[in-house]
Amino acid sequence: MGERRERSIVIVAACALLNEAGAVLIAKRPLGRPLAGLWEFPGGKVEAGEEPEEALIRELAEELGIEIAKGDLTPLTFASHAYPDFHLLMPVYLCRRWRGSITANEGQELAFVRPEELRRYGMPPADEPLKIALPGLLRV
């Protein structure tokens, strides 16, 4: 067997926010951040002792200025990707209901796109499989 490399596991919760027209919100990573210029699903790192849903509620309030109730988050799928320095696990939730107006609080560009159009957007390696799977998952 090959030598195993010790890598930390990082959990990042993400959300497919769907508007009434069935379009999903994506955010462009701003300059100065890792993977700048790539699009991603909103969310963020799950802190120690925090549940993924709690992290999403916190992150979406910070990043987008919206309030989401835990009961409005539905587990949808997950991603798993080995980066050079860590392994990312990303639970993805579906949300169709929130309070407040979506605002780019961190200077990020935002776009609502039809799920089948996600393939046109460059995304981080962990998100790439999601943009292919999401249209089918949302039709169920």
Distance, in Å, from the CA atom of 21 to the CA atom of 63, rounded to the nearest integer, reads: 22
Given a contact cutoff of 8 angstroms between Cβ atoms, the answer to whether 113 and 28 are in contact is no
| pLDDT attached to residue 138 | 84
Beta-ladder partners of 40: 27
Given a contact cutoff of 8 angstroms between Cβ atoms, the answer to whether 99 and 21 are in contact is no
The CA-atom distances, in angstroms, between 72 and each of 9, 97, 104, 106 are 27, 6, 21, 24
pLDDT per position as a tens digit, 80-117: 999 999 999 999 999 999 999 999 998 899 999 999 99
pLDDT per position as a tens digit, 131-140: 999 888 887 5
Q: Residue type for 35, please? A: L
CATH code that applies to domain 8-139: 3.90.79.10
pLDDT at residue 44 greater than cutoff 90 = yes
User: 78-85: which pairs have CB atoms within 8 A and are 24 or more residues apart?
Assistant: 79/14, 79/126, 79/127, 79/129, 79/130, 80/126, 81/125, 81/126, 82/7, 83/125, 83/126, 85/7, 85/8
Q: How confident is the model at residue 36 (pLDDT cuts 50, 70, 90)?
A: confident
pLDDT per position as a tens digit, 1-12: 456 667 899 999
State percent of the chain over pLDDT 90: 81
pLDDT at residue 62 greater than cutoff 90 = yes
